[in-house]
Amino acid sequence: KELSELIAAGEVIERPASVIKELVENSIDAGASRITVEIRNGGSVYMRITDDGCGIAPEEVPTAFLRHATSKILEKADLDNIHTLGFRGEALASVAAVGRVEMLTKQAGAEYGVRYQIEGGTECGMERTGCPEGTTIVIRDLFFNVPARQKFLKKDVTESNAVSAIVQKIALSHPEIAFTLIRDHRREFHAAGDGTLYSAIYAVYGRSFAQDLLPVSYSENGISLEGYVIKPLYAKNNRSLQTFFINGRYVKSVTCSVALEEAYRTLVMTGKFPACVLMLTVPPETVDVNVHPAKAAVRFTDEKRVSSAVFFGVKNALMQNGL
């Protein structure tokens, strides 16, 4: 039982960034309007996620940490129709299996909240407590009981960068939510959550990046494209600043990247990898974002259609700006 718990946990949790991704998605599912993420030493020593979401009823807290207890997948058909981000019911169980977890949670209007502690899958305390509405989860000593995993962790700065990248992408995909990222006691960014993609980009990547963007707004064949691309001069030497969201979900898509790069190539001499933040809306039945839960892989039923929308959307944006 314990071993299978650890193996299952490993499927969901590779590194601190995967914990942060799952827990921030839970906060979003809980309807949070502000989310704060704090990490120290790459996250393996300390991670905290605080939200002002709906909180969890005291009697439901232990259940939330049971594997699959909350799985929202009732039958396979549901896979095509997932509206909340969490759907496998195993993030909390997995984190609790491989770390020391403390949760403080209180529902709106409740008289009191609870503090719940679970370490390496073993419950070690639950008590009433006064706390703000919403949920705070602290994870200490990730993989303390899985030395083999610990060895695979990279340097703190690498793990921290991976956490930053995840929180950045999530903040960009939810401009209506205020995000704060604190890294080793320093505030790395704060997005105010005013609802516009532009101010989220400004908060995440800074002023000079935001000033070098061109707006994109386009649709064809039932696919729409909104967002920003970088002015051609500022293309990068890798794809790390190419951000695509499909129906609100962050994905890595070679199809989209190549179409973007082609659009630049036809018009201007430029570096190879233009930056972008592009939101694609496609008919849900034409996309499969569940290729692997922890990866950002995506499959389209019609690659050409997606590719064409990105190519012409970006090309139009560049031409409208006299390029």
**Site for Mg ion, rule CB under 5 A:** 26, 86, 91
Distance of closest approach, residue 61 Cβ to ligand ADP, in angstroms = 8
User: Could you tell me if 24 and 170 are in contact, meaning their C-beta atoms sit under 8 angstroms apart?
Assistant: yes
SS3 282: coil
Which residue of the chain is nearest ligand ADP when measured via CB?
A: 86
Distance of closest approach, residue 27 Cβ to ligand ADP, in angstroms = 5
Does position 64 bind ligand ADP by CB under 6 A? yes
**Candidate segments 53-61, 185-193, 261-269, 314-322, binder of ligand ADP by CB under 6 A:** 53-61
Instruction: Please give the single-letter amino acid code of residue 201.
Output: I
- Give residues with Cβ within 8 angstroms of 186, minimum separation 6: none
**Residue for token digits 């963007």?**
213
Distance of closest approach, residue 25 Cβ to Mg ion, in angstroms = 6
Distance of closest approach, residue 29 Cβ to Mg ion, in angstroms = 7
Among 6, 37, 56, 298, binds ligand ADP (CB under 6 A): 56
Nearer to Mg ion, 95 or 246 (CB): 95
Give the span between the Cα atoms of 286 and 55, in whole angstroms. 34
Does position 54 bind ligand ADP by CB under 6 A? yes
Tokens read off for 251: 């994905």
The DSSP 8-state label assigned to residue 197 in this structure reads H
CA 116, 88, 224, 258 torsion: positive or negative? positive
- The interface mask with ligand ADP, positions 98-137, x = CB under 6 A, is -------------------------------------x--
Does position 277 bind ligand ADP by CB under 6 A? no
Nearer to ligand ADP, 86 or 113 (CB): 86
User: Could you tell me if 259 and 310 are in contact, meaning their C-beta atoms sit under 8 angstroms apart?
Assistant: yes
Write out the binding residues for ligand ADP, residues 74-103 only, by CB under 6 A: 86-93
- Phi then psi dihedrals of residue 119, to 5 deg: -130, 125
Task: Please count the CA atoms within 13 angstroms of the CA of 125 that sit on its side-chain side.
Answer: 11
Does position 52 bind ligand ADP by CB under 6 A? no
Task: Please count the CA atoms within 13 angstroms of the CA of 156 that sit on its side-chain side.
Answer: 11
Length in residues, the chain: 323
36 binds, among Mg ion, ligand ADP, none (CB under 5 to 8 A by kind): none
Does position 53 bind ligand ADP by CB under 6 A? yes
Give the span between the Cα atoms of 209 and 192, in whole angstroms. 18
Tokens read off for 75: 């039958």
Distance of closest approach, residue 293 Cβ to Mg ion, in angstroms = 10
Distance of closest approach, residue 279 Cβ to Mg ion, in angstroms = 23
Tokens read off for 90: 């195993």
Distance of closest approach, residue 141 Cβ to Mg ion, in angstroms = 21
Does position 27 bind ligand ADP by CB under 6 A? yes
Does position 70 bind ligand ADP by CB under 6 A? yes
- Phi then psi dihedrals of residue 284, to 5 deg: -55, -30
Neighbours of 19 (CB within 10 A): 28
Sites of contact with ligand ADP (CB under 6 A) = 22, 26-27, 30, 51, 53-56, 64, 70, 86-93, 135
